[in-house]
Amino acid sequence: MQGRKIERIREFDRELKKLSKKHHGLTKKVEDTLDKLAADSIPDGDQLSGFDEHPLFKIRCGTGTIGKRKGARIIYYKDDSGLGPLIIFLKNMKTDAMRKEITKRLMYYLQLRSDS
Q: Which residues have CB under 8 Å from 3's CB, separation 6+? A: 38, 39, 40
Q: Quote the percentage of the chain above a pLDDT of 70.
A: 96
Task: Report the SS3 class of residue 106.
Answer: helix
Alpha helices in 10-79 (DSSP H): 10-22, 26-38
Check whether 9 has a pLDDT greater than 80.
yes
Q: Can you name the CATH fold of 5-115? A: YaeB-like fold (3.30.2310)
∠ CA 95-96-100, nearest 5°, is 105
Check whether 16 has a pLDDT greater than 90.
yes
Mean per-residue pLDDT for 2-13?
90
Residue 50's pLDDT is: 84
Task: Report the SS3 class of residue 78.
Answer: strand
- Domain extents for the chain? 5-115
Q: Which element (helix H / strand E) includes 112? A: helix 98-115
Pairing mode, if any, of strands 56-61 and 82-90? unpaired
Check whether 20 has a pLDDT greater than 70.
yes
Residue 1's pLDDT is: 46
Question: Whole-prediction pTM value?
Answer: 0.89
- Separation between Cα atoms, residue 15 and residue 11, nearest integer Å: 6
Instruction: State pLDDT tens for residues 51-85.
Output: 878 899 999 998 877 788 888 999 999 998 899 99
∠ CA 90-112-20, nearest 5°, is 25
Give how far the C-alpha of residue 87 lies from the chain's centroid of Cα atoms, to the nearest Å: 5
